[in-house]
Amino acid sequence: MVKRLVQYLKGYVFFIFVILVFALINVVTTLLIPVLIGNAIDCIIDFNNVNFEQINKILFFIFLCILVGNIFGYLYEYMMSFVCEKVVIHLRCEVFNKILHLPLSYIDSHRHGDMVSLIISDIEQVSDGLLQGFKQLYRGIIMIIATLLFMFLIKWEVALIVILVTPLSLFVAWFISKKSHDYFTKQAKIKGELSGYILEMVTNQKNIKSFCYEETAIQRFEQINQDLYQIGINAQFISSTTNPSTRFVNGLVYALVGIVGAVFVVKDPLSFSVGMLSSFLSYANQYTKPFNEISGVVSEVQSAFASFKRIINLLDVDDEIDDGLKEIDLPVDHIKFENVNFSYQENQPLITDFNLTIEKGEKVAIVGPTGCGKTTMINLLLRYYDPVNGAIYIDDVNTLDIKKDNLRQAYGLVLQDTWIFKGTVKDNIAYAKQDASFEEVVKAAKLAHAHSFIKRLPNGYDTMISSNSGLSQGEKQLITIARLMMLKPDMVILDEATSSIDTRTEKKIVDAFNYMMNGRTSFIIAHRLSTVQEADKIIVMKSGHIMEIGNHKELLAKDGFYAKLYHQGIVDS
């Protein structure tokens, strides 16, 4: 973990060098003060022969050391904060970029709330740990080395005592740190779990209320919260023993220095004066102080490293592989599924030996029971997932050989779960074409039959909206359909796109789509009959297999599975 963290600091070598210089100046000026005070004590130890001129000079230099030390101490704090925040910003951007390039299989198999927690809470924890830990550690190490040097220059025999006791302080800190690390790792994991659970509960309030799940949800939340509390208590309890333990050892060092130093003063006051003993005691305190300060932020650092480990685990996940080199020649003439097999989990096949050919301009409706493989077909078309066996061809070119971005740009997609981002209505519609003119946006909205309700909004097309802005599900869907109208793709995919819109609006949208899809290859997945009746080809699926293929009239005449769904008044069950 430390090596990985160092990699993020490589780009700031110059700043780290400047911080080192600032820290050295701050430490040296701080350590000169005890020497000057010791000299002042020696000047006044003999009341009958006080050198006031020398004392005035010493006081001036003490003031100068305090002034310079504080200035460079401030600069050290500022530069350290600057570097730490830069590293955190870089890390946050890298994590966000990573999430956008992860395979969809990874996104689908991990809790979204946990990933949100990782990019917000975990990185914030790393930020706090870096800022507090590095600030104390960096200056502390310099202080320890410089203090030892000063002590050896004054009296190496007494300094030797300090060095001999130091390993005990280090061992105590290491032992406690090792014990608390596991707890902080578990704490970071449970925090992610808690964030994921909260996100699930907040985004599914309608389902929770409809199933009267409130009490069960609260009980589950309290259980996770209790687990977090217990782990947090254990982590803090163990890490909190670091500071008093190191203070005990450091107090022992201070006492030994005082006793041994006093013996040297009594034996030979000329080589080791009272002023020198005073300086030495100050140095002993300065020497032990960094150990206390570092141990005081152990819990922050441990928690930061636990969070950093979670971040690194995400960053080490392989990006979505795109080994395609070819590009699609538009318009597409035909699409072919050839012996396609697919499963999300090993030994649980979802689609087996799937064969299908779609010609240019065909409207293809895919119907069947939930879990039969309808949406999976779309995922395979867009290469969100790749077949386990078999292949999908676009104009006789294997989709595995086509660049993913190029492939996906050929499709226009409308989902039942609408996506509205925070921005104006105009920006939401023009999302697929950033340089679109206002006239183009209005034209797309009219084609989607969204213009009339948009004009009724407080600021029309300049009204700020978001996923929680009070728009109805139907209105949100109209905006996403207008977005597709703006894109004018070569092929269109409608994944249950009209299931949340009233019948009257649906009729208008179907008419608009018929105009939009004229001459374009289109795939439709829907609950309602009105969205599939006009299809050129209806694919009836069950358990990953094609049960029937034909148009609406042909399938009714067969009196098979589709006819059964039709007579029940549904297409998708």
Tens digits of residue pLDDT in 419-465: 888 889 999 898 878 888 999 999 989 888 889 889 999 999 999 98
Rounded CA-CA distance 37/61 in Å is 10
Peptide bond into 331 cis (omega under 30): yes
Exposure on the CB side of residue 489, measured as CA atoms within 13 A: 23
b or e along 120-144 (b: 16 or more beta carbons within 10 Å of the residue's beta carbon)? ebbbebbbbbbbbbbbbebbbebbb
Rounded CA-CA distance 428/475 in Å is 12
Alpha carbon separation from 99 to 22, 91, 108, 312 (Å, rounded): 38, 12, 12, 12
**Predicted pLDDT of residue 441:** 92
Rounded CA-CA distance 435/415 in Å is 24
**Predicted pLDDT of residue 527:** 65
47-93 per-position pLDDT tens digit: 667 777 888 888 899 899 999 999 999 999 889 888 888 888 888 88
**Predicted pLDDT of residue 508:** 67
**Predicted pLDDT of residue 18:** 92
Token duo for residue 183: 């707890």
**Predicted pLDDT of residue 210:** 58
Torsion of CA 422, 426, 429, 434, to 10 degrees: -90
Residue 399: closest CA among 100, 495, 543, 410:
410
**Predicted pLDDT of residue 22:** 92
* Beta-bridge mates of residue 334: 359
**Predicted pLDDT of residue 442:** 92
Q: Could you count the other beta carbons within 10 Å of the beta carbon of residue 248?
A: 12
**Predicted pLDDT of residue 113:** 77
**Predicted pLDDT of residue 573:** 42
142-193 per-position pLDDT tens digit: 888 888 888 888 888 878 877 787 777 777 767 776 777 777 778 878 887 8
Identify the structural domains of the chain with CATH numbers, from first to last.
2-315 (1.20.1560.10), 334-567 (3.40.50.300)
Rounded CA-CA distance 373/347 in Å is 16
DSSP annotation of 395: T
**Predicted pLDDT of residue 500:** 57
Each residue's pLDDT, cut to its tens digit, for the chain (573 residues) gives 678 888 888 888 899 899 989 999 998 998 888 888 888 887 777 666 777 788 888 889 989 999 999 999 999 988 988 888 888 888 888 988 898 888 888 888 887 778 888 888 888 888 888 777 777 777 888 888 888 888 888 888 878 877 787 777 777 767 776 777 777 778 878 887 887 787 777 766 656 765 567 787 888 888 888 888 888 888 777 777 766 776 777 777 778 777 887 887 787 777 777 777 888 788 877 777 777 677 667 767 777 888 888 899 999 998 888 888 888 888 888 999 999 988 888 777 888 888 888 999 888 988 887 777 778 888 899 898 999 999 999 998 999 999 988 898 888 888 777 788 888 999 989 887 888 899 999 998 988 888 988 999 999 999 998 877 778 777 888 888 888 888 888 898 887 655 556 676 667 666 767 777 778 898 888 666 666 777 888 888 887 677 888 888 899 999 888 888 787 765 544
Whole-angstrom Cα Rg for the chain:
35
Residue 148: closest CA among 133, 137, 134, 164:
164
**Predicted pLDDT of residue 570:** 57
* Alpha-carbon torsion (282, 286, 291, 296), positive or negative: positive
Token duo for residue 561: 């599975």
**Predicted pLDDT of residue 25:** 92
